[in-house]
Structure 1
């Protein structure tokens, strides 16, 4: 089954130079029909004005993954040094046993990003932070894994990290990205017990006969595979999580 979420159906939050489009209940936006999606707790599309900051209070047992579409972001917390990411880059922080504050401040031209929160499979542990400057696009236009809780997805060694090894999640989940030219397609094979959540970050695409514009999303349940075709040059992000 495929359930389409149009961008104009999403929740909105506006505060101090930060505009959020919320796919699930978050902060002042509450929707009992969309609390979370399997182990995917939050998906927020954010636009942050020049010099503005998006801040969070204490969180635990959740992995917060931020993919930057445009601009620059500096990520801060009380536990780790500040990290700066540019367009195409990824920042991940695992709150684990607890982190009291988080912040993402935009650079001089502002920033546009997508943020995903994955619920950890096991509670506790030491918090951790990882950053990737960018991930090379897959040569065949297929999905590239950029975050994963499956050990087999992470090649060992420093060289692999330089080449774009995925950041580590503490749940049996994946986050993937496909960069497609108009007319190209990408296939992702999964199991019917998994839940997929796909977002068109840029451009346009079709999925199961449905046209998706930039900002639109689709939940995919009970399928063995998902095929997306770019109707124009597109960037697609796909979260794969356990259904519960």
Structure 2
């Protein structure tokens, strides 16, 4: 079953310095019927003005993935990590037994757009850790490129869960196929463009939650940028 959530049906948060579109209950938005999908708990599409961000705050027992779409984010945490993550890079932070971190727009003048994703770990109480990986932009073309996975390798951030995050840029008139094992779930986020997902149409900002259907065909009607997550 493919359940499409149109962009207009997702909540919108406007704090002036932050424009956010959460896909699941987050912050002041709470819907008891929309608290997650499989092990996924958060998918926020955030735009931050220059020089602003999220001050120090705690996390525990959560795998947090940040995908920078435009601009750059500056990460700081109480483990001593300070790093700037730019478009074309992915950051993975395992909060584990607990840490404090902050995230800011690294530019004083340019907007920052990022996707922030939270997942439940396979094991609680892990030692907190942090990493940043760069992926080749050429690898996105008409292909599903893994950028986060359980098994870490060059260009792929490791995560403490049986899952994989893929990114893809599918050209107009092109198609990409995806197949997974039965009994798993798929989450799709339309970042840009317009494409058909096994017959269901998605445009920018739409999401899809898929269960019981383990083969997908992505057919782009125009140049499209998307994220697909293979979940347990």
Query: What is residue 127 of structure 2 aligned with on the other side?
Result: 126
Question: CA RMSD for the aligned pairs?
Answer: 1.7
- Inter-partner Cα distance in structure 2 for 1:134 and 1:17: 29
Query: What is residue 30 of structure 2 aligned with on the other side?
Result: 30
- Inter-partner Cα distance in structure 2 for 1:233 and 1:19: 25
Query: What is residue 86 of structure 2 aligned with on the other side?
Result: 86
Tell me which moved more, 134-143 or 87-96. 134-143
Change in Cα spacing, 1:40 to 1:81, as seen in structure 2 (3 Å) is same
SS at match of 2:172: coil
Tell me, yes or no, if the aligned pair for 2:140 and 2:169 is still in contact at 8 Å. no
Query: What is residue 104 of structure 1 aligned with on the other side?
Result: 104
Tell me, yes or no, if the aligned pair for 2:75 and 2:101 is still in contact at 8 Å. no
What does 1:144-155 align with in structure 2 at a 5 Å threshold? 144-149=145-150, 151=151, 154-155=152-153
Tell me, yes or no, if the aligned pair for 2:51 and 2:104 is still in contact at 8 Å. no
Tell me which moved more, 22-31 or 85-94. 85-94
Query: What is residue 166 of structure 2 aligned with on the other side?
Result: 176
SS at match of 1:186: strand
- Inter-partner Cα distance in structure 1 for 2:119 and 2:7: 21
Tell me, yes or no, if the aligned pair for 1:135 and 1:146 is still in contact at 8 Å. no
Query: What is residue 175 of structure 2 aligned with on the other side?
Result: 185
Moved >4 Å (runs of 4+): none
Per-residue CA deviations over 1:1-43 (Å, capped at 9, x if unaligned) read 0000111111222335111101000111111121000001100
- Structure 1 residue 205 displacement after superposition: 1.1
SS at match of 1:66: strand
Tell me, yes or no, if the aligned pair for 2:135 and 2:147 is still in contact at 8 Å. no
**Aligned equivalent of 1:230, options 206, 216, 220:** 220
List runs of 5+ in structure 1 lacking aligned partners.
Answer: 156-160
Tell me which moved more, 120-129 or 73-82. 73-82
Q: What TM-score comes out, normalization by structure 1 length?
A: 0.89
Query: What is residue 61 of structure 2 aligned with on the other side?
Result: 61
- Structure 1 residue 101 displacement after superposition: 3.1
